[in-house]
């Protein structure tokens, strides 16, 4: 008999139960094995292999340049790290907007080559056919509405979305359409808290907010932001739980000093 308690994998069904019980869902982005393992061990229910890797890992200004191959590389590393969390993989810009068949081909590549458990697509009505096609193939899909960074050149800014009634009504309509197409959850990014609350109450699937107030079924943040690794990004919704940029800089400066002063390595650190 194993002395290790078996870890129960978070599934889309578990997330649905959490919404029903009013238990909040914690989601963070993850892009690699070592940090991914820590997030999984700390109890994060969903690890999102976000296309924000394009910003925080590759240093691009937007999420647009990251490729399907690069997303698969990051996702496979996170899958190897996750014992408990559900791993959701962002479908990158250009891999699903063409037509539903292309979207399905891309989703199948992600599932086969990374071992991820679900995919996420940005958009509403315009991608509903693609969502249905992917769901019909047995692949769980997470939606993403509000500020959808892949459309940044259409929006022009990263400001709050759906402040006006017309856009708010479209967003609610899109959420209902995505639900009908079969999504298991929806990310709502940077929208007024009241609207997020209304959407959350109007759909049966869990709604995970980022900059969407306290009344969604869960929260998501970019891990580099919440750990304080990024320095030049301080939106109002971001809570920094650490100031890693300062701690890393201090530690590395000390290392540089030690190397130059020949105090590292010492005798105990040598063979």
CA-CA distance, 110 to 69, in Å (whole number)?
A: 9
Sign of CA dihedral 157, 142, 73, 224: positive
Tell me the sheet residues that pair with 49: 89
Q: Does 35 bind ligand KIV (CB under 6 A)?
A: no
CA-CA distance, 82 to 39, in Å (whole number)?
A: 8
- C-beta of 242: minimal distance to ligand KIV in Å? 18
Burial 200-236 (b: 16+ CB within 10 A, else e): beebebbbbbbbbbeebbbbbbbbbbbbbbbeeeeee
Chosen residue from 36, 44, 50, 178 binding ligand KIV by CB under 6 A: 50
Of 23, 169, 189, 269, the catalytic one is 189
- Integer distance in angstroms from the first to the last C-alpha of the chain? 41
Q: Does 51 bind ligand KIV (CB under 6 A)?
A: yes
Chosen residue from 45, 90, 174, 217 binding ligand KIV by CB under 6 A: 90
Q: Does 185 bind ligand KIV (CB under 6 A)?
A: no
The residue (of 224 and 262) whose beta carbon lies closer to ligand KIV is 224
Q: Does 52 bind ligand KIV (CB under 6 A)?
A: yes
Are 258 and 264 a contacting pair, CB within 8 Å? yes
Q: Is residue 26 classed as helix, strand or coil in its secondary structure? A: strand
Q: Does 187 bind ligand KIV (CB under 6 A)?
A: yes
The residue (of 69 and 258) whose beta carbon lies closer to ligand KIV is 69
Q: What are phi and psi of 65, to 5 degrees?
A: -70, -20
The residue (of 134 and 210) whose beta carbon lies closer to ligand KIV is 210
Interface stretch with ligand KIV, choices 11-19, 44-52, 125-133, 248-256 (CB under 6 A): 44-52
| Residues 214-233 interacting with ligand KIV (rule: CB under 6 A) | 220, 222
Reply yes or no on whether 169 is catalytic: no
What are the residues binding ligand KIV (CB under 6 A)?
29, 48, 50-52, 90, 187, 189, 210, 220, 222
């Amino acid at each position: 008999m194993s002395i290790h308690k078996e870890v129960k994998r978070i599934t889309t069904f578990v997330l649905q139960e959490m919404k029903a019980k009013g238990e909040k869902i914690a989601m963070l982005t993850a892009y690699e094995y070592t940090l991914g393992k820590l997030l999984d061990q700390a109890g994060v229910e969903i690890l999102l292999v976000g296309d924000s890797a394009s910003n925080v890992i590759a240093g691009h200004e937007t999420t647009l340049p990251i490729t399907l191959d690069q997303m698969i590389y990051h996702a496979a590393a996170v899958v190897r790290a996750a014992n408990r969390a559900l791993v959701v993989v962002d479908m990158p810009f250009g891999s699903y907007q063409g037509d539903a068949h292309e979207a399905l081909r891309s989703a199948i590549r992600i599932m086969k080559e990374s071992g991820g458990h679900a995919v996420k697509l940005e958009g509403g009505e315009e991608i509903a056919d693609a969502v249905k096609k992917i769901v019909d193939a047995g692949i769980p899909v997470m939606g993403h509405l509000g500020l959808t960074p892949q459309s940044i050149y259409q929006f022009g800014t990263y400001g709050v979305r759906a402040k006006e009634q017309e856009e708010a009504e479209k967003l609610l309509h899109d959420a209902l359409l995505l639900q009908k197409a079969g999504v298991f959850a929806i990310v709502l990014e940077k929208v007024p808290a009241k609207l997020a609350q209304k959407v959350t109450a109007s759909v049966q699937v869990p709604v995970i907010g980022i900059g969407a107030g306290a009344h969604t079924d869960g929260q998501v943040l970019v891990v580099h932001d919440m750990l304080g690794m990024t320095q030049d990004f301080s939106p109002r919704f971001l809570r920094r739980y650490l100031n890693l940029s300062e701690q890393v800089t201090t530690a590395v400066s000390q290392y540089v000093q030690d190397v130059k002063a020949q105090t590292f390595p010492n005798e105990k650190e040598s063979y």
